[in-house]
Amino acid sequence: MNWHSVRAIFGHEMDRFFRTVWQSLASPVLSTVLYFVVFGAAIGGRIQSVEGVAYGAFIVPGLMMLTVLQQSVSNASFGIYFPKFSGTIYEYLVAPTGWIEVTLGFVGAAATKAVMIALVILLTSFWFNGVHIAHPFWMFAFLFLTAIGFSLLGFIIGLWAKSFEQLQIVPMMVITPLVFLGGAFYSASMLPPFWEAVAKLNPVLYLISGFRWAFFDLADVPVGLSLVAVALMIVVCLVAIRWIFLTGWRLRE
Amino acid sequence: MSAIIEIDHLSKRYGSGTPALNDVSLSIEEGEILALLGPNGAGKTTMISIICGLVTPSGGTVRVGGHDIRTHWREARKLIGLVPQEILLEPFEKVIDCVRFTRGLYGEGPDDAYVEELLRSLSLWDKRDARTRELSGGMKRRVLIAKALSHRPKVLFLDEPTAGVDVTLRREMWQVVRELSKQGVTIILTTHYLEEAEDMADRIGVINKGEILLVKPKAELMGEFGKKRLTIDLYEPLSILPPSLAARGLVLAENGMQLGYDYDANADRTGIARLLADLTEQGIAVRDVATTQSSLEEIFMSLVADEPREVRA
Per-residue pLDDT tens digits for B27-82:
999 999 999 988 888 888 899 999 999 998 999 999 999 999 999 999 999 999 99
- Identify whether B88 is part of a domain: yes
B313 pLDDT exceeds 50? no
Quick check: is B69 in a domain?
yes
| Interval A192-205: pLDDT, tens | 888 888 888 888 89
Based on the domain organization, do B55 and B190 belong to the same domain? yes
Average pLDDT, chain A: 88
* pTM, full prediction: 0.83
CB atoms within 10 A of CB A99: 16
Question: Chain A: nearest CA to B172, how far in angstroms?
Answer: 25
Structural domains counted in chain B:
2
Does the pLDDT of residue B227 top 60, yes or no? Answer: yes
pLDDT of residue B302: 73
Minimal Cα distance from A13: which residue of B? Answer: B101
The answer to whether residue B119 is domain-embedded is yes
pLDDT at position B310, please? 40
Is B301 inside any structural domain? no
The confidence score (pLDDT) of residue B103 equals 97
Q: Are residues B219 and B234 in the same domain?
A: no
Cβ distance of B88 and A11 shorter than 8 Å: no
Task: Give A136-147 pLDDT, tens digit per residue.
Answer: 999 999 999 999
CB contacts, 8 Å: B103 with chain A: 8
B89 contacts in A (CB within 8 Å)?
Answer: 86, 88
For chains A and B, CB pairs below 8 A equal 75
User: Can you tell me the mean pLDDT for B84-111?
Assistant: 93
Query: Over 50: is that where the pLDDT of B233 sits?
Result: yes
Contacts of A95 in chain B (CB under 8 A): 77, 102, 105-107
Mean pLDDT of chain B: 86
Nearest-CA distance from B53 to chain A in Å?
5
Same domain, B245 and B216: no
pLDDT digits (tens, 9 = 90+) for A38-68: 877 777 777 777 777 888 888 888 888 888 9
Give this complex's ipTM: 0.88
Residue A18, chain B, CB below 8 Å: the answer is no
Q: How far apart are CA A38 and CA A34, in angstroms?
A: 6
Higher-confidence position of A174 and A5: A5
Q: What is the mean pLDDT of residues B221-244?
A: 83
CATH number at residue B174: 3.40.50.300
- Please give the pLDDT value at position A38: 81
Confidence of residue B308 (pLDDT cuts 50, 70, 90): very low
Q: What is the pLDDT of residue A151?
A: 96
- If asked whether residues B144 and B283 sit together in one domain, one would say no
Bridge partners for B67 per DSSP: B64
3-state SS of A94-134 is HCCCCHHHHHHHHHHHHHHHHHHHHHHHHHHHHHHHCCCCC
- Domain final residue, candidates B200, B223, B246: B223
Q: Which residues in chain A have their CB less than 8 angstroms from residue B91's CB?
A: 86
pLDDT band at B107 (very low <50, low <70, confident <90, very high): very high
Amino acid at A241: I
Among residues B172, B197, B223, the one where a domain terminates is B223
| B180, B192 Cβ separation under 8 angstroms | no
| Contact residues for B134 (Cβ-Cβ < 8 A; gap 6+) | none
pLDDT of B311: 38
Q: Are residues B39 and B165 in the same domain?
A: yes
Helix axes B95-105, A3-19, angle to 10 degrees: 150
Contacts of B105 in chain A (CB under 8 A): 4-5, 8-9, 91-92, 95, 97
Among B169, B203, B223, identify where a domain stops: B223
Digit-coded pLDDT (tens) for A110-119: 999 999 999 9
Per DSSP (E only), the strands in chain A are none
Contact A4 B107 (CB under 8 A): yes
A87 reaches B (C-beta below 8 A): yes
| B298 located within any domain | no
Higher-confidence position of B10 and B240 = B10
pLDDT band at A208 (very low <50, low <70, confident <90, very high): confident
Query: B169 and B129 share a domain?
Result: yes
Looking at beta carbons, which residues of chain A come within 8 Å of B84? 87, 90
Residue B89 resides in a domain? yes
User: What single string gives the DSSP state of each residue in chain B?
Assistant: --EEEEEEEEEEE-TTS-EEEEEEEEEEETT-EEEEE--TTSSHHHHHHHHHTSS--SEEEEEETTEETTTSHHHHHHTEEEE-SS----TTSBHHHHHHHHHHHTTPPP-HHHHHHHHHHTT-GGGTTSBGGGS-HHHHHHHHHHHHHTT--SEEEEESTTTT--HHHHHHHHHHHHHHHHTT-EEEEE-S-HHHHHHH-SEEEEEETTEEEEEEEHHHHHHHH-EEEEEEEESS--SS--HHHHTTT-EE-TTSSEEEEEEETTSS---HHHHHHHHHHTTPPEEEEEEEEPPHHHHHHHHTTTS-S----
CATH number of the domain where residue B247 is located: 3.30.70.1560
Mean pLDDT throughout B99-121? 94
Domain match, B147 and B283 both: no
- Within a domain: B300: no
Taking alpha carbons only, the member of B61, B26, B23, B150 closest to residue B97 is: B150
Low-confidence winner among A5-19, B44-58, B163-177 (lowest mean pLDDT): B163-177
Q: Is B228 exposed, middle or buried (0-12, 13-18, 19+ CB in 10 A)?
A: middle
The alpha carbon of residue B79 is apart from the nearest alpha carbon of chain A, in Å, by 9
Better-predicted residue by pLDDT, B190 or A99:
A99
- Which of B68, B105, B115, B129 should be substituted to probe chain A, the one whose Cβ sees the most A Cβ atoms within 10 Å? B105
Highest mean pLDDT among A131-135, A160-164, B158-162, B309-313: A160-164
A252: contact with B, CB 8 A cutoff: yes
How far does the CA of residue B195 sit from the closest CA of chain A (Å)? Answer: 29
Half-sphere exposure (Cβ direction) of B112: Cα atoms closer than 13 Å: 1
Mean pLDDT of A6-16: 94
Predicted confidence at residue A253, as pLDDT, reads 64
Nearest CB neighbour to B107, from listed A5, A86, A91 = A5
Q: Is the pLDDT of residue B164 over 70?
A: no
Which pLDDT tens digit goes with each residue over B123-161? Answer: 899 999 999 999 988 889 889 999 999 999 999 999 887
Same domain, B199 and B287: no
Which domain range does residue B274 map to? Answer: 227-293
Do B126 and B54 share a domain, yes or no? yes
pLDDT for the residue B306? 54
| Pair (B100, B181) in one structural domain | yes
Residue B306 lies in a domain: no
DSSP state of A20: T
Cβ neighbours, 10 Å, residue A186: 19
The residue-averaged pLDDT of B81-94 equals: 90
The more confident residue out of B204 and B174 is B204
Window A:97-126, CB contacts with B under 8 Å: 97-98
Do B147 and B244 lie in one domain? The reply is no
- Claim to verify: residue B181 and residue B262 sit in the same structural domain: no
Q: Name chain A contacts of B144, Cβ cutoff 8 Å.
A: none
The pLDDT of residue A61 = 86
